[in-house]
A and B are shown apart, each in its own frame.
Chain A
Amino acid sequence: MNAMTTPFRGTWSLPYRGKVAMAGLIIAESAIFTIFVVAYLFYVGKSLSGPTPREVLEVPVFYTICLLSSSLTIHFAVKSLERGKQSTFLSLWIVTIILGGLFLFGTGREWHRLIYEHGLTISTNLFGTTYYSMVGLHAFHVTAGLVMLCIVAAFGLANRVGADQSRRIDVLAMYWHFVDGVWVVVFTVVYILGR
């Protein structure tokens, strides 16, 4: 028995590494989004031609509400799972997926309108470039999140997700909250500040 093998007196508890890792990923992703936001704001009003935001953008209120309420549903889904209420968890989880899917559908519809009715593409002007990149990057992250959510839903439907997995599910929910948070920023920049 020496100084290094004497048992430790007291409790030694460290944070859960899943949460720390997801926090790290969120920090890195936030940095990427910040650069796209900076580019967007820098180029507001600087397009040399083509449609301006004011002319073509319509505020996507409904789809924003869908996405933001999906944060609520996923939060309560995780809470239910922690309490072992698997069926409540699964229903709320699937509602989250539907709300996220609706948001993506809405983005697709908006892009279709912008491209075919207003001729705004990523190569039209600075507004087009910055708008499609930033919103597209966000939509890409929503898609990736939805894929993960669907995988969990599949396991859930196969009755494999219980209270024991709630820590990991919580980590995934952190990511989903981040994606929603990014939308708040993107929405503010594009539909409020940039018009």
Chain B
Amino acid sequence: MSSSAITIPGVQIEDKPWVDTLHEWVTTVDHKRLGVLYILYALLFLVVAGVEALIIRIQLMFPHNHFVSPQVFNRLFTMHGTTMVFFMGMPILFGFANYLVPLMIGARDMAFPRLNAFSFWLSALGGFLLYFSLVGANGLYGAGNAPDVGWWAYAPLTARAFSPGHSTDYWTLALLVSGLGSIGTAINIIATILCMRCPGMKLSRMPLLAWLNLVMSGMVLISVSPLTAAQIMLLIDRYLGGHFFDTQAGGSAILWMHFFWIFGHPEVYILIIPCFAFMSEIIPVFSRKPIFGYPVMVAATVCIGFVSMSVWAHHMFSVGMNSYANSFFTITTMAVGVPTGIKIFNWLGTMWGGRIQFKVPMLFSIGFLFQFLIAGLTGVMLGSAAFASQLTLSYFVVAHFHYTLVGGVVFGVFAAIYYWYPKITGRMLNEILGKWHFWLFVIGFHLTFDLMHVPGLLGMPRRIYTYEPGRGWGTLNLLISVGAFIQAIAILVFVANLIISYFKGAKAGNDPWDAWTLEWSVSSPPPVYNFASVPVVASRRPLWDLKHPEDPDSRYE
């Protein structure tokens, strides 16, 4: 991870004391280092939240199991959801955006390096606050400990009366703080993309990763703020005697739901759009063809950005909205599936007629395509309000969103790690370990999340610490839990690969994948200043033009 240095023979260079290295990392404003910090932070929480999930799955292996108490179980699913969304998903995607966007647009750093560092440390503080609740939240009646209100923290369960102590407040503060960090990073990404592109890189020549992070950042600005507002209101209710969600004073529990989901739904698109970006960079390289339909991909993403702001109440199909509202949210939810489907078709079109190389990044990408297709279709089922009246709040939804978040986001992130790890560290990840990781994870994922749809269809609601025998849920839950452990083994293989390859991996060189975007034109890892001289580009694939001067893209654009 150090900047590439020129070795002068015969000169002894002392090893830097580790304290100095630590100080450099803690005070860094370099987008590449901050990107790595975000990613490592997220991987740590991936493991933590994964362990939470394993404990949940052990408890649910048999009906009337007693592995953990209901109180502990309720904290586990709250922490698992909150951690995975806010302290795994968001940081890892911001980390990749931070690392890649300046490199891909030919810039030397982000627009505001110090804001960048500040935003990272704010997000880090948020994660710390959430887990500090385990020790620090002892409040009234000694009722403290980790939050147990679910990751949506519905009112009035979060009112002082029903959640005494401070556990809910740790949830609120952790997300408030990290939300501010997210807004800071989003502002930074937008300013970088709009103001720091290298000469010749018109918006229509930007890599799709830059475009999609631009859309994602715009969505962060508009949709994280409603959550911030709602959390301020919750704090006012809990500490200043306010009545925003106080049903005894005429307040509305449903208002919290609207505010939360106005954030919550765009949030899941915020999580998936950067993964769409990874797919749009990786699939072309391993199919040896440019992305099929670049302008349509941009338009579809912008469309998704807008339409996804209008679908939120499909999370509320059971709360008793009138039939017109339910119909409205049905059509908007189904409508957002159209641009999403278009993207899947365009990736297919990229692979079509190509020469597909099944390296590990491509394996994860193919898994993504297959799984996101299924997730989108179960999403259509859930978007149909009448059908959803049976499916919502059941394990069918849990299966659906894990399909999008694990089958989509996690697979996309794995693809990105295998693809860009060589650029970040200068070494290749081991292909054999990578394939073991992939196949174990695919088998475990499908065993768990394919089967998980069925208990939902058989009437199993979510967020229950145990269930009755005789409803047909027992065997399925046992198999689901087995799948979770297979996934855990896959993650162990992955972590081993990350560590071993850092020390023993094959040297990567500038461009191990024979790719076409600007980050592959510099050394691996890149020098701290990124580019010796600011590049000038004439097409969407500047390195293709360099490698194929007889047939450059610039001739066709």
User: Which positions in A face B, CB cutoff 8 Å?
Assistant: 2-8, 12, 14-17, 20-21, 24-25, 27-29, 31-36, 39, 42-43, 46-48, 121-123, 125-126, 129-130, 133, 137
Contacts and interface: CB of A to CB of B under 8 A. Distances in A.
Interface residues of B, number: 54
Given A20-B195, A122-B236, A126-B249, A32 B228 contact: yes
Interface in B353-368: none
A77 B474 CA distance: 73
Contact of A133 (B186, B222, B232): B232
Contacts of B511: none
Q: Which among B188, B536, B552 has the greatest number of chain A C-beta atoms within 10 A?
A: B536
B536 A8 contact: yes
Given A27-B222, A126-B250, A8 B191 contact: no
Nearest to A18: B191
B111 interface: yes
A17 B195 CA distance: 6
B485 to A, nearest CB: 42
B549 interface: yes
B233 A39 contact: yes
B45 interface: no
B244 A39 contact: yes
A27 B447 CA distance: 43
A122 B536 contact: no
Q: Which among A4, A7, A42, A126 has the greatest number of chain B C-beta atoms within 10 A?
A: A4
B307 interface: no
B255 A42 contact: yes
Interface of B: 111-112, 183, 186-188, 190-192, 194-197, 199-200, 217-218, 221-226, 228-230, 232-233, 236-237, 240-244, 249-252, 255, 259, 262, 521, 533, 535-538, 542, 545-546, 549, 552, 554
B221 A123 contact: no
B197 A14 contact: yes
Contacts of B243: 123, 125-126, 129
A104 B527 CA distance: 50
Contacts of A20: 111, 190-191, 194-195
Given A28-B183, A123-B240, A3 B250 contact: no
Contacts of B223: 31
Name the prevailing secondary structure of the B interface residues. Answer: helix
B545 A3 contact: yes
Nearest to A11: B199
Nearest to A21: B191
Contact of A14 (B195, B224, B554): B195
Given A8-B536, A32-B229, A24 B222 contact: no
B102 to A, nearest CB: 13
Contacts of B197: 14
B233 A122 contact: no
Name the prevailing secondary structure of the A interface residues. Answer: helix
16 contacts: A3-B537, A3-B545, A4-B521, A15-B195, A17-B191, A17-B195, A21-B191, A24-B221, A29-B225, A35-B226, A39-B233, A48-B250, A121-B241, A123-B240, A126-B243, A126-B249
A33 B111 CA distance: 27
Contacts of A137: 232
A126 B192 CA distance: 43
A123 B241 contact: yes
Contacts of B533: 5
A43 B224 CA distance: 23
B536 A4 contact: yes
Contact of A122 (B228, B230, B241, B535): B241
Given A122-B241, A133-B236, A28 B221 contact: yes
Contacts of A47: 249-250
Given A24-B217, A126-B250, 15 more contacts: A2-B546, A8-B199, A14-B195, A15-B195, A20-B195, A21-B188, A24-B221, A32-B228, A42-B252, A47-B249, A48-B249, A123-B240, A129-B242, A130-B244, A133-B244
Given A17-B111, A27-B221, A28-B183, A6 B195 contact: no
A32 B183 CA distance: 12
A28 B190 CA distance: 13
B194 A5 contact: no
A5 B535 contact: yes
A165 to B, nearest CB: 17
Contacts of B229: 31-33, 35-36
Nearest to B227: A35
A4 B252 CA distance: 59
Contacts of B187: 21, 24-25, 28
A6 B230 contact: no
